[in-house]
Amino acid sequence: MDKKLLDILVCPVSKASLVYDPARQELICQESRLAYPIRDGIPVMLESEARRLADDEVKPAVVNSDE
């Protein structure tokens, strides 16, 4: 995945940043809980093509305990 492309792509649903998963060839949005496939090197950024993330695939939010 081209780093420059990854820097400008965002989730079309939440506009959050994406994380590249090379093992699954997907772009992951933790906020929307969606995984967008990469087919033949091209990210498919359609919600209808995205896979919903399972609960164990979603990283827990970091809570600031300094309050």
* Nearest Cα to Cα of residue 34 among 13, 51, 59: 51
Question: Going from the N-terminus, what domains does the chain have, and what CATH number goes with each?
Answer: 3-57 (2.20.25.10)
* Nearest Cα to Cα of residue 51 among 14, 25, 16: 25
Per-residue pLDDT, 57: 84
User: Strands 34-39 and 51-52, how do they pair?
Assistant: antiparallel
Pick out the chain residues at pLDDT < 50: 67
Per-residue pLDDT, 66: 55
Per-residue pLDDT, 56: 85
pTM score of the predicted model: 0.83
Pull the structure tokens for residue 47. 């919600």
